[in-house]
A and B are shown apart, each in its own frame.
Chain A
């Protein structure tokens, strides 16, 4: 493995992407028709990429594990999408968004990528509006904006609490149009089990048809993974229960690097765990912190219901600790602050693991109507889950696993270290550093899918125009299929006594305890041992009913959890390696006097990228040094 080359173009920050676009190699329309591209995943990133590639004239094959691409978890993104339109005249600009993201990510993201994300943000809004996304509007008929955590401008476009749904469906529909046009072939209910690499290039995938269990081979000139995040590794998370890291792991085992795997965002405003049966946690959009005030009682044994606690007995701890940003501090900061209060014994609710998010003042000042208009769907959602009416009583919230900043390492072209394999959206690592700011996930997904990948993939494919359709009848496909089958059969043959769910729960619990909002060396080491033990137990005592060649949901889950075990070890190794605190990665040993993360820029200003060696050898670390030419690296402060 050679040294990582991020291929960042030379020149001024604001010119890098423009110059790059002007210099990439092109594929003529006639040649595009001859080239196949596989896109795995069809959420905000995958669907927009597939649609755009289809429009360009490539032959696209899309693979999703859902029954329909419209189910991708981007659909659950709630609060909004950022852009630097500056419609509010509040001095917003590309640079400001770029800076907010770099700072929000605690100076662990790549400058050039982040700037590009900010630069193309406006095109995304234009595109979505043209596609019919019903963003919120003012009475004038022009687009409305709101604020999000970690910023001091209003640049977030939104469609009530269902922005992700509206944007994802727009992309899904654009893709549907290409399916009708014959430029995209859709393969639904397919799990990607392996990546096929031929002569060093990504050339195909091995899939399992989830309806029949059949193992299939598919080839292409280039492959795009838009497979989302792996936050479900914590068992309870705000993610859809089937979200997984298997495709990323398959790529990793075939030579792609996974970068910053331990950078997992714990979202501060989720509905707390209510009972032991719970299968997932429901997110309450960060946008609620625009108007909601977070507090806990000042007294530890407060017995009064929240509405009867007078002003002087309430601790609005975010406003107290961070007066400049108040309730709108970034997610990692808000999460830790909530945990700190609860750990100190001030938490509320049955479990003491919750804080209040109160709309009393907002309803008083703005009227209920306005609040309904802004957050109606979210309030309804909250009421449906908890049975509490948030218009009358404060919400109870607690942090939950949400988003993974880490993912497949990609260069400026979004290509992984395997030529021809691209990773876009949450599946890659590139734009959010150690902490993602709200409303920038949809933005990154759409940016990657609509505007970046369709340009950069041409640069690679321009050299492939002479390559005929890739045959699936090669030794490499043969070998990959054989290995996959062996592993699947091994899983099925265990015939133990414990269900997949019980293993997943235990694994999630270890990670949440030792590698959640706070980490320390001792705990991480202990966790690593525990994971290894549990992994051994998994391979000895797992019980899967049913067989391979049928619709078998337990088997699907087992495969995903088996991969989570590998990923979990990688997460712990990464967290152990990074002996500093930054963003979501909070090592207790490294904090300031005020309990804020203490970075070590001298030694850890790099992207930790892990290379798979073999089953018995620990992964190899590659460092991509981060250089900051255009911002001054400072201690992050929201006070």
Chain B
């Protein structure tokens, strides 16, 4: 099928950047979106030009490296997928596809579609862990954990740190990201010891890093490739309130 791509090109973080249009007339529906870009890049290289830079690694939706803003949505039109899992079958012959990098103050563009997501690392560093030194752990079964809670923790813990939530949020907020980590530990007995400090530190850091705040719009939940729920943000708010008033 034929498609037209309008892709953001930016040489360096300082460069102003612009959109460049590319036409491909032999795209297979069996390609993934990134394989289509690979294919385009091969052509660009053969024409002696500089290929489009974008991050990707595992190509199975778990490492969180990839992530493009495709036709006005993070990871394109399919629900519950990362960009690498997006199939070209989601498009039809003659489609025009606009590809932009994540846009957010906290995620500056480095080159073309590559952004700097260090801010997420900093958020985790601010408190997204349980402070147990190697060797200090008790026997694993010494504390039973309700299956239900363990599942809530897992469903929050599946976050891949791709930044789709920030990209989708009209406020470029990282609330879904931090709420996933706060929730994971809020429901586990191991996490409760530091719960108060964790939630406050992570929120403080989020503000510092220049993320926006939450207006309960729900775009993050709608676009999260791992379908992490807004209930985690409510839990984060609850944890925060509890930490402050107790």
Contacts and interface: CB of A to CB of B under 8 A. Distances in A.
Interface stretch (A270-278, A306-314, A427-435): A270-278
A545 B48 contact: yes
Contacts of A550: 12
B125 A130 contact: no
A152 interface: no
A546 B41 CA distance: 13
A125 B133 CA distance: 14
B30 A76 contact: no
A141 B145 contact: yes
B228 to A, nearest CB: 13
A173 B124 CA distance: 7
Interface stretch (A175-183, A337-345, A523-531): A175-183
Interface stretch (B1-9, B56-64, B166-174): B56-64
A130 B137 contact: yes
B134 A67 contact: no
Best-buried of B59, B85, B158 by chain A (most CB within 10 Å): B59
Interface string B22-63: 000000101110111011001011101111010111111111
Contacts of B141: 85, 87, 142-143
A543 B146 contact: no
Interface string A61-77: 00000111111110110
- Interface centre among B63, B80, B145, by most chain A C-beta atoms within 10 angstroms, is B63
Interface of B: 12, 28, 30-32, 34-36, 38-39, 42, 44-46, 48-51, 53, 55-65, 80-81, 85, 87, 89, 110-111, 114, 116-118, 120-121, 124-126, 128-141, 143-147, 150-151, 153-154, 157-158, 160-161, 184-185, 188, 190-191
A130 B154 contact: no
A499 B42 contact: yes
A130 B190 contact: yes
Given A381-B60, A501-B42, A55 B128 contact: no
Interface of A: 48, 51-52, 55, 66-73, 75-76, 85, 87, 122-123, 125-143, 159-160, 162, 165-166, 169, 172-174, 176-177, 179-180, 186, 188, 211, 240-242, 274-275, 277-280, 282-283, 377, 380-381, 384-385, 387, 450-451, 454, 497, 499, 501-502, 543, 545-546, 550-551, 553-554
Contacts of A128: 140
Interface centre among B118, B120, B147 (most CB of A within 10 A): B147
Given A129-B190, A173-B124, A275-B31, 12 more contacts: A69-B121, A73-B63, A127-B134, A129-B140, A130-B137, A140-B144, A142-B144, A162-B62, A165-B62, A387-B87, A497-B46, A551-B114
A454 B154 CA distance: 29
A533 to B, nearest CB: 22
